Structure 1
Amino acid sequence: MKKKVLSMFLASVMALSIVACGSSNGGSDTQTGTDTAAQQDNATETEAQAEPETASELVDGKFAETRKITVEIYDRGNDGGSDPENNMYTEYIKKGMLEEHNVEVTFKKVPRWTEVDDINNLLAAGEAPDICVTYSYPTVLTYAQMGGVIDLADYVDAYKADLPNLWNWLGEQNIYWDKDPKTGSIWAIEGRRAEQQRIVTFVRQDWLDKLNMKAPTTTQEFEDMLIAFRDNADTLLGKDASKMVPFSTSYDVGWRTANIITSFMDPKITDKEYYINGFDDRMVTQASTKEAVKLLNKWYNEDLIWKDFALYGSGDTTEDDMIKAGYVGAFQHNWDYVFRNGEDSINANLKRNVGEDAKFVPVDCFQNSEGKYAKWLYSSAGDRKIFFPTTNTEPLASLLYVDFISKPETIKYLQAGDEGVTHEVLDSGAIQIIAATGDAIQNSGKNIDYTITCNGTNFGDEKLAALSLAYGYAEADPELVSQADVISRTDGIEPVNVNVGEITAEAGVGDTLSSKRDQIYDNAVVAAEADFDSTWDSYMSDYLSAGGQAIMDERAEKWAEYFGDADMLP
């Protein structure tokens, strides 16, 4: 009955928010009046239905009676991949949880590329998995405000002795990352990034060789290289010259050209400025971003950027297919992107489709005003957000799952699999990943869709991970992997965690603003050069009026409340 009541409540609030925001993706704005009263009533019900169990509930870490939980798993739709709900890794988890904790686990797949929409719908219907994972904290916050998310503050502390792996791996930094400084609420636990690398620029080494050119080391040299690719399409592609794409990007310009955008930023940007303008990690409202995009607009109008980049959304394979076919000269992407997916990796495909010498190599060429190759890194904390909907009636069993996932042995198995099947051990002791088949295929790099508290190479041992990083990609050249790793961290900047509690303006607008952000970038890049300023300003005005300005204003107020006149945090 309570599940039904909560489902009706969430669905009602979603309906109201859709009317208010004009978008089915919007969620709800801050609630007032009667909505607040309903929220308080629902919160009272939530508190009554889920209170921490006593430690005596467990005997040697196990429940006396079998508990059952459901866990979200991303479905990436990989051709030839394994079933995300049933494979070698899910069986390992299910067996381990049953043996160690007497908890039966069922996985529930959610499409990766529409995960926010799908989780929204599942939450509103009261059908969300007991353990949910998202990259979008505003989504968590929206439902927390509706009374639809369990406050984990009491649970993680009360069960600390039963969660040694979770606390050892994440520590207070990640567990308390989102803890409200006033209320003490914890709506989500943040996963930990074992790797902080983000974006690298890749260029075709074989094309450089054919044109007798060196790898670019400056922005101007990079532009000159793109022009050379364009002007020598016949030499480089022969009968396919019309398919030449000197530089490729996607609709997600803010991510895919991040190193270019960062190179335009003030090297002395303050923590305050970066935070106030930093709701969107694509840096669309940072002061210098417009100038960076103006350069991309120039390149686009000079036929240096893929003309159709804005037409294909998330999850579409058109760009990857074009890159693998050998038509693209350069692009920016996740630091290890060309090495992922073994025999189906970009470089492996180029070798088959174009020739033995065809490959992308990492380069560093976008310098800021101080001559540094500055790049924003991931924080070592603050990754995916793990949260429990209030329809979860097994919070302790769910936390034991998160603890099991955080065990060194579990992380190692999920990342490395079985020796001889998914990896080999080298003489140095390093783990070398090899191509897998069938249900041993990992649908995500390093199996991060299962290691939800760990993003990046770890193998349960940081020294072993460092030793093995270059060998973590089947069919990839370890030397190139090492080069990409080094370049991705050169002159890296790690953002600080600014915790000022809830920013109410952020709730319910995440999807809407992400969509409008992409519209700013995409339309500004493809505009005629004479129309660039007016296009940028028009779309930015729409973004700000849709909630962006309110977020920045509230962030500025909260900064002043907690940090006064300070520009930098210790």
Structure 2
Amino acid sequence: MRRTISILLVCFMLVGLLAGCGSEPASTSPSPDTSAPAESTSAGSAQDAELVDRKFTKTRSITVEVYDRGNDGGTPPENNFYTNFIKEGMLRDHNVEVTFVPVGRWTEVEEINNLLAAGDAPDICVTYSYPTIQTYANMGGVLDMGPYLREYKDLLPNLYGLLTERNLFWNEDPETGTVWAIEALLFNNARINTFVREDWLKKLNLPEPTTLEEFENMLRAFKNNAQLLLGSEAKQMIPFSISYDIGWRADHLLAAFVPDSMTDKEAYINGFDDRHILYPGIKEGVRVLNKWYNEGLIWQDFNLYGAGDTTEDNLMKAGYVGSFIHNWDYPYRNGEEGIQANLQKLVGPDAAYIAVAPFKNDAGVYRKFLANPIDRKIFFPSTNDEPLASLLYLDWISKLENRRFLQIGEEGVTHEVMPDGAIKTLAVTGEKIMNSPNNIDYTITINGLDLGDPELNAKSLALNYAGVDARYIERAFELSKKDGRIIPQFNVGEIKAEEGMGPALASKRDNFLVQAVCCPPDQFDAVWDAGMQDYLNSGGQAIIDERAAKFAQFYEK
């Protein structure tokens, strides 16, 4: 079914492209000769000539993608206090009208695929899936940003200053020189944490778990003492919670089973799946989850709820969940609407989740696979006929004073300035609430609080969660990076076998991992082996083979 849909999407795109062949192209490309002088007759220079002090003499219009998280108490992501700030600023500073287009955060790959295939994608698109971009680039559906970035460099001081050429040209093909997308900056490289109920540990007189055995015993203690911990609601007890996205939500546990001796080469060749499912040892980590599930230590209904469903969060807020693995600051987000805040309102002021480090690998370290300093991928579809206006938008939101306002809001309303200059976030509801942490859905060129001063950043980070004791944040940030490992970038250009395979392989991965966790223990090996073989036969092995060949071509000469 997915292959059929992919073929249909390709056909729709080709029809759109062919329909435009009889007329002048909508986009204005600079001269492909990047050494040409700025006074050349390219359409890009014609646009440049219409700028006075980096402001268009004639109003331009662009559309910009924004994630819709559907969070409780939020505002419409395409129309709120912060979008108005951006719209007014872009019109004032560059004479560019901006319209935001909401895309579901948890279904973004599918929605972007559909928008690109229909020719309706926003002028500025954002995704975490580079293979999706590459697929449409190969069909002529994506602009090569390289020539624009080079020609307009002098007009983009804030964009270049924030991302530098490293992130701007991170995806530059070593053979063709194309740049299909730029990489946003991952500013605070914290990824995932393991959380447990601190108050439950105290109530049962349990130490914080520091090994897999201790963590497992803690889960059993939660289950066996459900009556003490939850009273009349003992049947609601969930010692450990997880979601259908097992590769992400069990990351710390699974990483502990990866041999510390795995080389960077092995990690690159097998690392195209961002859930690291092909790393050696992952199977044994999933086997542990299977054991826990069959012991009743894992939420038994986790496989019934898909992307974007809030049932699990609500169970955490209600006080039924003893532990889980998630984004490094997950329970502390969203102020009064967040997990920690609701937990304390419903259960009591001492109820809280605390980050712990319980999973050691074979070298005795708490290994975390951290990301390179890249985050979301920003690209322009070929239907974008305002590339310069779009780049000026990215430059505008990269300007320190603009992104600072978007990240912390108004003094006295969304934050207060402490005596040492640190920024303390305040709880807020209504029109000035932020739909995402530090408004990362609008600061799409950076993920992580940056106030322009490293010392101020460090002081402010722990105060950046309204209503949450700073000690929880400080601990979570520290543990999320403890014993971290970053796999270097290996730029080998396009991996053709990855084209169009991202969503299909991710779906297969998620499905067979769920089946492997939920099956009877005596069927685990058969379920895992069949699911992995199907994953490999469906394109995974072809990607591995091509990556190995490209690695040899560029790094083993």
TM-score normalised by structure 2 residue count: 0.94
Q: 1:50 aligns with which of 24, 29, 50?
A: 29
SS at match of 1:229: helix
CA contact (8 A) 1:26 1:509 kept: no
1:42 to 1:339, Cα distance in 2 relative to 1, 3 A: farther
Query: Aligned residue for 1:14?
Result: none
CA distance in 2, matches of 1:325, 1:42: 58
Alignment of structure 1 residues 345-494 onto 2, 5 Å: 345-380=338-373, 382-494=374-486
CA distance in 2, matches of 1:469, 1:264: 31
- Could you list the runs of 5+ residues in structure 2 that have no partner in the other structure? 31-42
CA distance in 2, matches of 1:172, 1:520: 40
1:326 to 1:48, Cα distance in 2 relative to 1, 3 A: closer
Q: Tell me, yes or no, if structure 1 residue 234 matches structure 2 residue 234.
A: no
1:440 to 1:385, Cα distance in 2 relative to 1, 3 A: same
SS at match of 2:462: helix
Query: Aligned residue for 1:525?
Result: 517
CA contact (8 A) 1:407 1:460 kept: no
Alignment of structure 1 residues 103-252 onto 2, 5 Å: 103-252=96-245
1:74 to 1:26, Cα distance in 2 relative to 1, 3 A: farther
CA contact (8 A) 1:375 1:490 kept: yes
SS at match of 2:115: helix
Amino acid in the other structure paired with 2:124: I
Q: Tell me, yes or no, if structure 1 residue 318 matches structure 2 residue 297.
A: no
Deviation at 1:49, TM superposition (A): 4.8
CA distance in 2, matches of 1:78, 1:106: 21
CA contact (8 A) 1:97 1:103 kept: yes
Q: Tell me, yes or no, if structure 1 residue 83 matches structure 2 residue 62.
A: no
Deviation at 1:459, TM superposition (A): 2.6
CA distance in 2, matches of 1:186, 1:334: 30
1:218 to 1:26, Cα distance in 2 relative to 1, 3 A: farther
TM-score normalised by structure 1 residue count: 0.91
CA distance in 2, matches of 1:50, 1:392: 11
CA contact (8 A) 1:27 1:508 kept: no
1:461 to 1:404, Cα distance in 2 relative to 1, 3 A: farther
CA distance in 1, matches of 2:239, 2:177: 51
Query: Aligned residue for 1:265?
Result: 258
CA contact (8 A) 1:409 1:460 kept: no
Deviation at 1:216, TM superposition (A): 0.5
Query: Aligned residue for 1:540?
Result: 532
- Could you list the runs of 5+ residues in structure 1 that have no partner in the other structure? 1-17, 566-570
CA distance in 2, matches of 1:286, 1:44: 49
1:122 to 1:96, Cα distance in 2 relative to 1, 3 A: same
CA contact (8 A) 1:26 1:512 kept: no
Alignment of structure 1 residues 21-40 onto 2, 5 Å: 21-23=3-5
Query: Which string of whole-angstrom CA distances, capped at 9 and with x for unpartnered residues, describes residues 179-199 of structure 1?
Result: 000000000011001111111
Q: Tell me, yes or no, if structure 1 residue 556 matches structure 2 residue 548.
A: yes
1:216 to 1:145, Cα distance in 2 relative to 1, 3 A: same
CA contact (8 A) 1:446 1:456 kept: yes
Deviation at 1:46, TM superposition (A): 5.6
CA distance in 2, matches of 1:388, 1:550: 28
* Superposition RMSD in Å: 2.1
CA distance in 1, matches of 2:240, 2:161: 44
Q: Tell me, yes or no, if structure 1 residue 337 matches structure 2 residue 330.
A: yes
Aligned residues, how many? Answer: 540
Deviation at 1:45, TM superposition (A): 7.3
CA distance in 2, matches of 1:479, 1:359: 12
CA distance in 2, matches of 1:510, 1:404: 32
CA distance in 2, matches of 1:241, 1:515: 34
Amino acid in the other structure paired with 1:415: Q
Query: Which string of whole-angstrom CA distances, capped at 9 and with x for unpartnered residues, describes residues 251-271 of structure 1?
Result: 001001101111111112111
SS at match of 1:196: coil
Stretches of 4+ moved more than 6 A in 1?
A: 41-45
Give % identity: 55
Query: Which string of whole-angstrom CA distances, capped at 9 and with x for unpartnered residues, describes residues 331-369 of structure 1?
Result: 010010010000111111111111121111111111111
Query: Aligned residue for 1:506?
Result: 498
SS at match of 2:402: helix
Deviation at 1:220, TM superposition (A): 0.6
SS at match of 1:53: helix
SS at match of 2:228: helix
CA contact (8 A) 1:275 1:498 kept: yes
1:113 to 1:26, Cα distance in 2 relative to 1, 3 A: farther
SS at match of 1:403: helix
Query: Aligned residue for 2:271?
Result: 278
CA contact (8 A) 1:28 1:507 kept: no
Query: Which string of whole-angstrom CA distances, capped at 9 and with x for unpartnered residues, describes residues 374-408 of structure 1?
Result: 1111211x211111111111000000000011111
SS at match of 1:513: helix
CA contact (8 A) 2:211 2:360 kept: yes
Deviation at 1:462, TM superposition (A): 3.4
Amino acid in the other structure paired with 1:356: P
CA distance in 2, matches of 1:373, 1:283: 16
Deviation at 1:42, TM superposition (A): 6.7
Deviation at 1:80, TM superposition (A): 1.7
Deviation at 1:463, TM superposition (A): 3.2
Deviation at 1:553, TM superposition (A): 0.8
CA distance in 1, matches of 2:321, 2:528: 27
Deviation at 1:92, TM superposition (A): 1.3
CA distance in 2, matches of 1:547, 1:424: 52
Query: Which string of whole-angstrom CA distances, capped at 9 and with x for unpartnered residues, describes residues 440-487 of structure 1?
Result: 111011100000000011134433222200011111111110000011
CA distance in 2, matches of 1:559, 1:406: 34
CA distance in 2, matches of 1:246, 1:503: 42
SS at match of 1:384: strand
Query: Aligned residue for 2:39?
Result: none
CA distance in 1, matches of 2:21, 2:500: 19
1:45 to 1:183, Cα distance in 2 relative to 1, 3 A: farther
Query: Aligned residue for 2:38?
Result: none
